[in-house]
Amino acid sequence: MRIRNMPRKPPSNIRLRAPDLDDDAVVEIHHFLEDLMNRFESRYGLQMRRFYDERDRRNRAQYELKLGLPDDDLPF
């Protein structure tokens, strides 16, 4: 299943009200979320890397166009 048309950011009027939790619950939830992120990155990490690499290439190309520099003549 592909989810492509979902907004990247939730609307700013949505607020998450976090309940008060005891220390043990906070740590358990943190471990759960950390494990979830690790598994997500293991499964989708290559796609995320591709996305950020392509965005970085586009940003560099736009920067070079603004400067009017040839592709191989970056200022740094």
> For 18-76, what is each residue's pLDDT tens digit?
999 999 999 999 999 999 999 999 999 999 999 999 988 888 888 777 777 565 655 66
Indicate the domain borders of the chain.
25-69
7 against 48, higher pLDDT: 48
How would you write the chain as a 3-class SS string? CCCCCCCCCCCCCCCCCCCCCCHHHHHHHHHHHHHHHHHHHHHHHHHHHHHHHHHHHHHHHHHHHHHCCCCCCCCC
pTM: 0.54
